[in-house]
Structure formats: structure tokens, C-alpha cells
Amino acid sequence: MALQAGIVGLPNVGKSTLFNAVSNSAKAQASNYRFCTIEPNVGLVDVPDARLYKLEELVKPNRVVPTTIEFVDIAGLVKGASKGEGLGNKFLANIREVDAIVHVIRCFEDDNILREEGPINPVSDKEIIDTELQLKDLETVEKKIARTEKMAKTGGDPKAKKEYETLKQCQECLEQGKNIRSLGLSKEDRSAIADLFLLTEKPVLYVANVDEASLHTGNKFSKALEESVKGENAQVIVMNNSIEAQISEMEDPADKELFLSEYNLTEPGLNRLIRSAYKLLNLITYFTAGVQEVRAWTIHEGWKAPQAASVIHTDFEKGFIKAEVIAYDDYVKYGSETAARDNGRLRIEGKEYLVKDGDVMHFRFNV
């Protein structure tokens, strides 16, 4: 289940440079002019997880398969996009299709990189995109209100009434210049507007693209950004996208290790970004481990065992009988499935079992 995170931002903030760094399957063009990215580039990226390679060490399988997430490089936005300015309609349609947003914001000064919005101001840049997404959502919500209002007010359809109440709540929020995600809608409320795929309901991860000197400490720009998003329950990751692009191009592990040490880094910032995007989507990982293959599987937090089995094959869910489960820490402690079983750490779980992050699982099914 490859979920998508869309990389967005104003023109020339480092979006495509970040995509080039983060993607191991595609390269986006990164140039110093507006609308360099027109068609969205898509890259399938491995989610770094040290647990997978610990299991490889213990099991010694024929192959190892990490779980993945898709990153989409979306065209740069300009003011007025909600009314079709620039590539606005295309940009907004592309955002509507992704599961989460990675918002890249320029937090460095460089006279050699074009900027039409005036002096560097990350808070203002963020608000430009927020406003365009809010205006588009408001248009969508108001259209739906017009269609449901009469049915809701006649009182004959409780579902329509609930939908109308949620829509009005969203309308008020957007008119105040706030994002839908700030409402903290209940599951029932979210289902009432699920068909609208509202842009400002999507979870957001902010990437503060800083200069080299600010890589570890951030700067006044990144700190201003962090302060401005405190009420959003959002994360801000400080990175230098150019450095990350250089690291990603290195094939020799020794060269990469040396380069990281020069910048006093223990790992690429991209690893933090990928893990954060994964977490942002409320995803967890379970593993299957055997001689043929050790593999990581992506599921949503809160999924039960049959749903988790379905990502391997739909037949596994249809014919689900039981799941054999070993907690990751127990697997590592005892060193093998056999030893974990012998020490009573292998559990047999049924259809109501909520899968935990790191579970090592084997499914019994019948079709």
C-alpha cells in the first residue's frame, strides 16, 4: 500500500532538489525558473528501518524487502492559484490526490536564487499556500452546502443533517483563515466530508530549507516558522536540501560516511524526513521473516490482523484463520522463531487482534 506524500512550496524553494535527494527511483529537474516542475514526478522511496536489517542478520534470508512510501514533486504554487493563476488548477488537483503534504519553505538568503515574493519570510510564504488551499476548500465546501442545505433543513435525513452541520463548521473555520485539520474533527465528522478530499484537512510536515551554517541549530527564519505552526500539531524538520542531494548521489558507503562526518551528521536528514512522513500518515510496520524473504509491510495504526494480512494478498484476509505473532524485541532477544516459540513468546492471535508496530507475523488462512 504505497501511500503518497506530495512535496509542495512556492517556486524556487528547493522542492525538486529535495525530491532528487529523497527519491531513489526518479530524478526531478531542478532549475532556477518558475514552473520548472509541470507534470508531477513520482519516486518510490524505501522507509529506513534498522529492525529490518537486524532480522536479516538473524534469519539470513535470500532477500530483504523494505516497505516504501511515494513522494510526489508537485509544481510550484503562486498567489492566485485557487483562481487558476500560474498552474494553480493543476497544482491543486495534484495535491488533492496525495495522502499528506510535505511543505518546503525557504529559510536562507541567496541573491543568486530568484525570489519574487520579496525579502525572505517563511511565515508569509507558508500563509500564501495556506490561503490558496483554504480558498479552494471554501469553494468546494460551499458548493456542497448548496446541495445539502434543503435536505438537511427538512429534517427527513439524519445523515444529511450531520453532513450539513460538519460542512458549516468547516465553512466557518475556512472563513477565519484556518485549516480544516486545526478543527480536530471526529471520525464521524471526517466521514461526512470524506468525499470532498479537502486540501487543508491533509496532515502536513514542514521542511525548513536552511543554509549550511544553520544545519544543526536552525536560524531566525526556521525558528519563526516553528513558532507559526505551534497550533497546527505539525512537525518542522530543519534540513539543507543541497547537502541532502549530494549525499544521495554517493554510491560508496565509505564516501557517504565520510561526507556525513564532515557535517557532523549521524545519518542523512532524509531518513528523518521519510520516517516523519511515514509517522505523519499514522502508519506502522509489521514484518514477515523466513528463509526466502524478510519483508516489511505497511499498515495503518489500529488495523486488525485480517486487515494487516490483506496487504500481502486479499485472499489472506478473506480466508483468515489465525496469526502467529512474535514481538520484535522478543524475536531479537531469543534470536529465532524457534527459540521464541520454545520460550513461550510466540502468540496465536485471532481476528480482533490489533497489530503492533514491529510485530513479526505469520498468517494461517484457508481459501
> Is residue 319 marked as binding?
no
Burial class from Cβ neighbours inside 10 Å (0-12, 13-18, 19+) for residue 33 reads exposed
DSSP state of 108: S
Residue spans of alpha helices (H) in the chain: 15-22, 50-59, 88-96, 122-154, 158-175, 187-192, 220-228, 241-248, 253-262, 269-280, 305-310, 314-318, 328-334, 337-342
> Is residue 228 marked as binding?
no
- Cα separation, 360 vs 296, in Å, equals 9
> Is residue 17 marked as binding?
yes
> Is residue 16 marked as binding?
yes
- Cα separation, 78 vs 105, in Å, equals 13
Residue 171, C-alpha cell as written in the block: 465553512
> Is residue 13 marked as binding?
yes
Q: For residue 251, give every residue at least 6 positions away whose Cβ sits within 8 Å of its Cβ, in sequence order, or none.
A: none
DSSP state of 194: G
Strand, helix or coil for residue 265: coil
Residue 18, C-alpha cell as written in the block: 529535495
- Residues annotated within a binding site: 12-17
Please state the residue numbers annotated as binding site for ATP. Answer: 12-17
